[in-house]
Structure 1
Amino acid sequence: MQARHSFWWHLLVDLPILLLVAAICILLEVGALPSRRSGFTCNDPALSFPHVGDTFSISLVAAITIIVPFVVMWVVEAIHHRNDEYNMKQNKLLVSAKITGLIYRNYIYGAIVNLTILEVVKCVIGSPRPTFFDLCQPDKARTCNGSEFISSFTCTSTKYSRYLIIDSTRSFPSAHASLSIYCGLFLAWYLQRRAFSWHNRSVLVVPLVQTLCLTYAAVCALTRLTDHRHHWWDVLVGGSMGTLAVLYTVLVLCKNFSQPTVVSTSDISSSDGNNHQSVRRLLSSEPHVVVP
């Protein structure tokens, strides 16, 4: 009964909220909702770089952020898996997938909170990118002189898509840096807490994977500078937001990866009084609990 009530709460409350937040983020990203443009200074060299594209496209960063953590955590939890009286008859991959799903749910929640704040700040600040003049080709830039500040202008570029023209004034903060650092730090922290309890583990496998995660986070953030897609302060603030999101997700939502144990909450809630006693004894018995 408790599981059924939880299902309806997820379906009727959580899902609509998630869809609403996702819709708002998408509408802000594509320019369907109005956003602020902060203006520019004439002949500003910091805004005069040519647009050369992205080393890491936003679709690639999104795919890595969504897919890779689940795969890595599923592998780790499958190796952690130990049979007990509640899951010995279930498929090992299925049980580990359920445990992974509990952690992954918190991870996605933190990512959505982080992304929502990023989108709102981008639209409120409206800071021009280093490639602003090339992407937008503002009409006032042709006639202004010296260091005159232009607050009202119209983009006249026909060389780039409407999305890139709108995106030319959304430099602060860097979403690429924030999401990549969030993903990389989360996985490195997770592996430190969960994967290092493997029995007979390799000495180098886990540190190597952690290094790859941190390298991805650093390289993805730094390419925003080398591609001239962001100013250094955009990357710094975006990375800081990603780091704060990791701290919130790991310490508050995931309880520093001390949960979940190998016993699923659905098994506990569906058992009778005698089974509740068994579960309590099981949880208090250290050999049956996966301790990071």
Structure 2
Amino acid sequence: MAPSVAPSPLRPTATKEGQGAVDVEGAWLPETCCGQRRCGARRWGVCVNWLIYLSVFAGLAVLLLGVVAPSHTTITCSDPLIHREVKKETVPISLLFTLSFIVPFFKILIVEWVMPPASPSAPSKTPLRVGLRRAWRYLGDLFVGCLFMYFTTDLIKTVVGEARPNFWALCQPNLTDHQCSQVYTTVTWKDCTNPYKLRHWRLAETMKSFPSGHAAISVFSSLFIMAYTHKRLWRTIPSLVSPWLQLLWVIWTIVCCQSRVWDNKHFWWDVLAGALIGALFAFLTLHYLTNWFEREEEEEEEGDTALLSRRKEPTSPSPSPSSSSYIPEEEEEEGDNLSRFSGTSIKRLIGGAPRGRPSPRGTTAAGEAAAASGVALGAVQVKEE
């Protein structure tokens, strides 16, 4: 039986996808190609994901710009629910975007910077760099989940075509007395006299009341960041800090949702439906994209970290059954007291210790005697064979 060839000092012994390899001396090496078939499948998956993202984003843009607008809305001319006045928004889009994306990003960045993973990463990765990387990753999950959620919400808006509470004031449809005498009449955005000189897509928005997009986004982002706060800060800081931070997001969500009713933008059932949609997509995002903020890299880095933290020793060729150092499998049960020798096949066969466990310094007389007896017994059995 030919002896196995010892690994080259420059050959990577541990690899991790996207993060390079570690050689036997503990040097962090750049990642090499993992094979044409595997790399091709990975690139194909990335391309498919980006194609889906771009298609959803394009569909959302078509809906928001009014290219595909509600075909009509059904109203009653004497309905007081659609004759409410026009008010200024309490929560404009800019504030909603800031509190839903920018503030969570910096919060995650600070938490990941101050509380880095328990296991160390590559030598070139500082805590700030690791925190920035994780913050970008979680922000990407937040954005992707919100993209799919808001596309679904606006698609429902377009299909349902419910008039907003301030529809009559913004549109002032040109209807005849005969049309208004009917119980229900159909109105399109082309029937609006447009007293406020709104653009086409703004007029289309007056017919997109159900469900509330503000409520969906605020509930989605709040549940996302509340789950992150619970996962990262629970039992690591004073017990009341995490609930207090979560309470702030609850207050923000309630104010944002209620403001849509105050400002005559939505009815209460619109806000409720938007909140339910936001909660549903928040659960799906946390479960399928973020994995509830589990730091899976910590488990993956354990093998690489062990190689980086301990002293590497060159591995000798594996002995063949005909060599004098061959030890039969029965001798593997001698115990951990024989795991004091170098990281060769003798250590693995006699000591039963896993590869990579550091050997204690120094040996006792009992350990040397047991090792010598094991080697002699192996040689005798080989000769008898």
- TM class, shorter-chain normalised? 0.7 to 0.9
Q: Does 1:233 align with 2:243?
A: no
Contact 1:86 1:263 in 2 (8 A): no
Larger proportion of helix: 1
Partner of residue 257, structure 1:
293
Instruction: Give the length in aligned residue pairs.
Output: 272
Contact 1:36 1:125 in 2 (8 A): no
Deviation at 1:225, TM superposition (A): 0.5
Find the structure with the greater CA-based Rg: 2
Contact 1:224 1:230 in 2 (8 A): yes
Between the aligned partners of 1:215 and 1:13, the Cα distance in structure 2 is 39
Partner of residue 96, structure 1:
131
1:80-130 C-alpha deviation (Å, 9 max, x unpaired) = 214745334422111122223333332222111111100110110110000
RCO greater where, 1 or 2, for CA within 8 Å and sep 6 or more?
A: 1
Deviation at 1:16, TM superposition (A): 3.5
The one of 64, 76, 89 aligned to 2:111: 76
Deviation at 1:7, TM superposition (A): 7.6
Provide structure 2 residue ranges, at least 5 long, that are not aligned to the other structure.
Answer: 1-32, 309-353, 355-385
Note closer, same or farther for the CA distance 1:210–1:218 as it changes in structure 2 (3 Å cut): same
Contact 2:82 2:165 in 1 (8 A): yes
- Give the TM-score normalised by structure 1: 0.82
Note closer, same or farther for the CA distance 1:152–1:80 as it changes in structure 2 (3 Å cut): same
Q: Does 1:224 align with 2:269?
A: no
Between the aligned partners of 2:39 and 2:107, the Cα distance in structure 1 is 30
Aligned counterparts, 1:122-141, within 5 A = 122-140=157-175
Deviation at 1:177, TM superposition (A): 0.3
Contact 1:135 1:164 in 2 (8 A): no
Identity over aligned pairs, percent: 26
Partner of residue 198, structure 2:
161
Deviation at 1:68, TM superposition (A): 1.8
1:239-281 C-alpha deviation (Å, 9 max, x unpaired) = 010111111112333222223344678x98xx7xx78xxxxx9
Contact 2:76 2:180 in 1 (8 A): no
Between the aligned partners of 1:246 and 1:109, the Cα distance in structure 2 is 11
Contact 1:50 1:134 in 2 (8 A): yes
* SS of the residue 2:73 aligns to: coil
* SS of the residue 1:170 aligns to: coil
Partner of residue 42, structure 1:
77
Q: Which amino acid aligns with 2:55?
A: L
Contact 1:127 1:172 in 2 (8 A): yes
Q: Does 1:175 align with 2:213?
A: yes
Between the aligned partners of 1:130 and 1:37, the Cα distance in structure 2 is 16
Aligned counterparts, 1:1-292, within 5 A = 1=33, 8-9=43-44, 12-82=47-117, 84-140=119-175, 144-146=179-181, 148-153=183-188, 154-162=191-199, 163-198=201-236, 201-262=237-298
Contact 2:286 2:293 in 1 (8 A): yes
Provide structure 1 residue ranges, at least 5 long, that are not aligned to the other structure.
Answer: 276-280, 282-292
Deviation at 1:35, TM superposition (A): 2.6
Contact 1:48 1:130 in 2 (8 A): yes
1:186-221 C-alpha deviation (Å, 9 max, x unpaired) = 1112101112243xx244433332111111111100
